[in-house]
Structure 1
Amino acid sequence: MNTKIKVLLAEDELALAQIIKESLETRNFDVLHCKNGQEAFDVYIKENPDILVLDVMMPIKDGFSVAKDVRKVNKSVPILFLTAKSQTQDVVEGFSVGGNDYLKKPFSMEELIVRIHSLLGRIISKNIDEAVSVGMYLFHPIKQTLVFDDKTENLTHREAALLHLLLENKNEIIERAVILKKIWGDTDFFSGRSMDVFITKLRKKLSLDAAVQIINIRSQGYKLIC
């Protein structure tokens, strides 16, 4: 079972938004559609999507403004801009406010999907495709699943990336700063709080095997014991 990629789509052209949403959902994406920039930021805070696809020209807040606000709380979540603009200065501005990629309208759905997978693929290397043991669990990094007996638990992209990093260094302390730099791209306060939340989520998902523990080493970092 593959976990769905959660996409926040901010697009005020409703006909185009519906086409994108339906096309992505037929390809196993979970799409949260927002009609303006303010709604997009509010939904981002509430839902914590895997990636943001933002139209540049939107009411209330434009896509660049949304990206600026998102980057204040998360430095690494992928942001893809959709735009009818093609001037060099607009492209430069998009990257300067924290965008990771830029797709000019009109575009094909296949191109959008390739761009999304490319951005998310930076979190976990694509050559890690075999399942690995985590205690009594079987972890599939690319499928982003944990299997315990006949129970399958889906992971988000970031949960899978975090578990993989911990597993690479199992039974050893990984400094907080190292984890934050590799997965969050920043060591600021908000990234640190986000990491702690994800550690808690992983502990819960690994709780069926008492021999598997993620230990907090005070003032240092975390250690996966298994």
Structure 2
Amino acid sequence: MKTKILLAEDDPDFGMILKQYLELEDFEVSWFQNPEDISQLLLTDFPFQMGILDVMMPNIDGFSLAKMILKEKSNFPLLFLTAKNQKIDRLTGLKIGADDYIAKPCDPEELVLRIKNILKRTVPAATESIIKIGQYSLDKKKLLLTHPLGNVRLTIKEQELIIYFLQHNHSAITRDNILDNLWETNDYFTGRSLDVFISRLRKYFSNDPEIKIQSLRGIGFEIDFPTQ
């Protein structure tokens, strides 16, 4: 499954270059020239694993956009693009909650390296074989969910759903987004299948009350997986 990156860059030439390069590196990139379009997404579906925000944009600057995103998605990884490379920009970004910054014009290879380092720190499901989820441990290689009170052997689809939830942790996810990404189809039968899988996961994680897969009526689910 490709990592989905939100790119906010109003410069059409630079934005297109970044999008094409990142897609060559096997990322899935949604490029927005108008940051106001992103603010609307926060009210509905937000299927991204990290964001790259240009600091200097019209209407809504990168810092203001970051504050809006982090208000709704508190652990969302962010990298800032700045043309000025001034100390005040760096400090402002870090205070807001940015994971990194890079000055424009940037070396695409360095940008990719920074992105991968951020994802390694913030999206453990993408890189680690064993992942701690509250009182549980998920061994991806063995398809095994372990807990002091007992272990569960997972199916491939069950593990894919857990990893997808980890990648969208502390976020609301629509049913359509889950079905489109994991089942690659969206009809009555796959919808019922998703309900069965959700019931199974709730049962598997029932020994830890801090782990929550909450249904949002008419929307989908809100995920809260405590991780280390």
Q: Bin the TM-score by the shorter chain.
A: 0.5 to 0.7
SS at match of 2:97: coil
User: Aligned residue for 2:28?
Assistant: 30
- Structure 1 distance, partners of 2:211, 2:20, is 41
Q: Which amino acid is the alignment partner of residue 95 of structure 2?
A: S
SS at match of 1:28: coil
User: Aligned residue for 1:124?
Assistant: 124
User: Aligned residue for 2:93?
Assistant: 94
Pick which of 10-19 and 119-128 moved more: 119-128
Provide the alpha-carbon RMSD of the alignment.
3.7
Contact map agreement 1:54 1:80 (CA 8 A) in 2: yes
Deviations along 1:19-52, one digit per CA (max 9) or x if unpaired, are: 1111111222111111122123323553331101
SS at match of 2:30: strand
Contact map agreement 2:5 2:51 (CA 8 A) in 1: yes
Matched, 1:77 2:87: no
User: Aligned residue for 1:214?
Assistant: 202
- Structure 2 distance, partners of 1:155, 1:109, is 32
How many residues are paired up? 179
Q: Which amino acid is the alignment partner of residue 214 of structure 1?
A: R
User: Aligned residue for 2:3?
Assistant: 5
Relative distance call for 1:136 and 1:214 in structure 2 (3 A) is same
- Structure 2 distance, partners of 1:28, 1:119, is 16
Relative distance call for 1:155 and 1:84 in structure 2 (3 A) is farther
User: Aligned residue for 1:159?
Assistant: 165
Contact map agreement 2:53 2:80 (CA 8 A) in 1: yes
Relative distance call for 1:44 and 1:195 in structure 2 (3 A) is closer
- Structure 2 distance, partners of 1:59, 1:83, is 14
- Structure 2 distance, partners of 1:11, 1:196, is 25
Relative distance call for 1:70 and 1:127 in structure 2 (3 A) is closer
What stretches of structure 1 of length at least 5 have no aligned partner? 139-145, 163-183, 185-190
SS at match of 2:5: strand
User: Aligned residue for 1:187?
Assistant: none
SS at match of 1:132: coil
SS at match of 2:59: coil
Identity of aligned residues (%): 30
Contact map agreement 1:50 1:156 (CA 8 A) in 2: no
User: Aligned residue for 2:40?
Assistant: 42
Contact map agreement 1:8 1:44 (CA 8 A) in 2: no
Structure 1 position 61, deviation (Å): 0.1
SS at match of 2:124: coil
Contact map agreement 2:82 2:89 (CA 8 A) in 1: no
Contact map agreement 1:120 1:157 (CA 8 A) in 2: no
Relative distance call for 1:43 and 1:222 in structure 2 (3 A) is closer
1:178-217 → structure 2 map (5 Å cutoff): 191=170, 194=171, 207=196, 212-215=200-203
- Structure 2 distance, partners of 1:195, 1:69, is 16
When normalised by structure 1's length, the TM-score is: 0.64
Contact map agreement 1:52 1:80 (CA 8 A) in 2: yes
Pick which of 122-131 and 91-100 moved more: 122-131
